[in-house]
């Protein structure tokens, strides 16, 4: 797997239209033999505006890639079901959800108990496990589910689904992540 260092990097004048599945596969294909994967910094990060990259030290194999694909599909289907009832859940609680959906809601979608960033990051790690992307996987899941509930245009939902897929992969298989300006 000795490929170009920057996955998901493309000509801005001719960007590919990737599905979340293709995004995960492309991340795997662009993880080099040393386990290094570089992706553009996520939107809304201060560093994204400056063209910064995340350099991730990945530990994953083909079975892990396939597990990530299955996890994404499962999460996406659960979010679709929850999105249909999103507003009523937010106002009256998650009692109408199945036990599996309630667990998903409590892990990925419910509000954080604090507005302070350190507390939010600690709660994120408590909910999904410690990783460089614990907070990000929750943030992306919440945004994706809300966009689904609002019936946002398909391209917007797909773009956020791609970011959620990236966050799931980074959360599950990245051992170290740093922001860099250039790839060696």
**Residue among 175, 149, 166, 7 at smallest CA distance from 71:** 166
**What residues contact residue 20 under an 8 Å CB cut-off, 6+ apart?**
72, 76, 158, 161, 162, 164, 165
Total domains, the chain? 1
Whether 25 and 155 have beta carbons less than 8 Å apart is answered as no
- Is position 97 within any domain? yes
If DSSP codes are grouped into helix, strand and coil, which group holds residue 50?
helix
In a domain, 74, yes or no: yes
Task: List, for residues 58-111, the tens digit of each pLDDT value.
Answer: 999 999 999 999 999 999 999 999 999 998 888 888 888 999 999 999 999 999
Whether 179 is in a domain gets the answer no
SS3 at position 170? helix
In a domain, 116, yes or no: yes
Residues 6+ apart with CB under 8 A from 148: 79, 80, 83, 86, 157
pLDDT 10s digits, 4-33? 445 555 555 556 678 999 999 999 999 999
List Cβ neighbours of 108 (8 Å cut-off, separation of 6 or more): 75, 127, 128, 137, 138, 141, 142, 145
* Structural domain contains residue 2: no
* 22 belongs to a structural domain: no
- Whether 8 is in a domain gets the answer no
Which domain range does residue 76 map to?
61-173
* Tens digit of each residue's pLDDT (9 = 90 or more) over 25-73: 999 999 999 999 998 887 664 544 566 788 999 999 999 999 999 999 9
Q: How far apart, in whole angstroms, are the C-alpha atoms of residue 59 and residue 117?
A: 28
Is 102 inside a domain boundary? yes
């Amino acid at each position: 797997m000795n490929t170009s260092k920057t996955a998901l990097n493309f000509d801005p004048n001719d960007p590919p239209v990737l599905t979340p599945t293709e995004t995960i596969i492309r991340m795997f294909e662009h993880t080099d033999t040393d386990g290094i994967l570089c992706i553009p910094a996520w939107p809304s990060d201060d560093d994204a505006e400056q063209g910064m990259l995340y350099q991730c030290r990945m530990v994953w194999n083909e079975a892990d890639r396939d597990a990530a694909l299955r996890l994404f599909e499962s999460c996406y289907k659960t979010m679709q079901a929850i999105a249909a009832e999103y507003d009523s859940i937010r106002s009256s609680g998650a009692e109408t959800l199945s036990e599996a959906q309630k667990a998903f809601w409590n892990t990925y979608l419910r509000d954080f108990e604090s507005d302070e960033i350190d507390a939010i990051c600690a709660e994120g790690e408590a909910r999904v496990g410690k990783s460089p992307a614990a907070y990000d996987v929750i943030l992306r899941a919440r945004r994706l589910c809300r966009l689904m509930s609002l019936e946002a245009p398909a391209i917007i939902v797909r773009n956020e689904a791609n970011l959620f897929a990236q966050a799931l992969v980074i959360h599950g298989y990245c051992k170290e992540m740093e922001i860099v300006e250039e790839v060696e």
